[in-house]
Amino acid sequence: MNVAIVGVGNISRTHMEAWKHIPEATVVAVCDIRQEMIDRAVDITGARGYLDFTQMLDNEDIDILDICLPTYLHADFAVQAMERGIHVLTEKPLSLYKKDVARTYEVAQRKNVRFMTAQVLRFWHEYELLREAYQSGQYGPLISATMTRLGSTPRSSWDNWMIDEQRSGLTPFDLHIHDLDFLVYTFGEPKDMQVNRARGAKRDDIHVVYHYDGFFVSCQATWHNAVFRFRSGYRFQFEKAVME
């Protein structure tokens, strides 16, 4: 399968390394609007580099497009590729808007191509174990839980798009969405929720408590205005065991 990557900034590095572990896939083309990022990506992958996305689609025979662009561009680029019959993997979140979700899935179905948003927690072993423990009931019923996702306010995104609410959605869409995706995937829609948020010029702190039948989950997602090593984790209290 021929893979192309568009947006070869920070997180694309992880994608480029990951594709190397899939023998059936070859990264044949990379695209960015910054030549220095293209040069770095070409060094890592050996692929051909493009400054223009449409030119890349026209010139290359692409099976899968991997989108590592800023959040506000995901849906438009996904739709453009799927209209040409290309399968798409996009970084999270797909969009800040429901209407983009609807139009993206409409094109995927109409063109009969695969589309996936990289909500990765579902596939991490620690979270698979948690889901299994809940579903099997091996530790008794779930009572309460905390999930955390903490880091510094991002300073190295292209054009500082990550600290622009219109383009990134800030901590709810950039960080908390990972934990929320896992909760909905594992427990379904919560019955109720309470939200507290403390925002400042260079910080954003959201705490959400989700209520389910018989248990609640308290989530925190924070960008600190400080040098703060990124960390994430969970603690789930079952009747007979605590998982963390």
3-state secondary structure of 231: strand
Which residue lies nearer to ligand NAD by CB, 234 or 238?
Answer: 234
Q: Is 69 in the site for ligand NAD (CB under 6 A)?
A: yes
Q: Which part of the chain contacts ligand NAD (CB under 6 A), choosing from 31-39, 109-117, 193-201, 222-230?
A: 31-39
Alpha helices in the chain (DSSP H): 12-19, 35-45, 53-59, 74-82, 98-111, 125-136, 165-168, 170-171, 177-187
Query: For residue 123, what are the contacts with CB-CB under 8 A and spacing of at least 6?
Result: none
For residues 201 and 209, give the distance between their C-alpha atoms in angstroms, rounded to a whole number: 25
Q: Which two tokens stand for residue 45?
A: 């992958």
Which residue of 45, 71, 104, 153 would you call a contact of ligand NAD, by CB under 6 A? 71
- What does the per-residue mask of binding to ligand NAD show for 139-178, with x meaning CB under 6 A? ------------------xx---------------x----
Please say which residue, 151 or 236, places its beta carbon nearer to ligand NAD. Answer: 151
Q: Does 60 bind ligand NAD (CB under 6 A)?
A: no
Q: Which residues contact 26 (CB under 8 A, 6 or more apart)?
A: 1, 2, 3, 19
Asked whether position 66 contacts ligand NAD by CB under 6 A, the answer is no
- Contacts with ligand NAD, residue ranges (CB under 6 A): 6-12, 31-34, 37, 53, 68-71, 73, 91-92, 118, 120, 157-158, 174
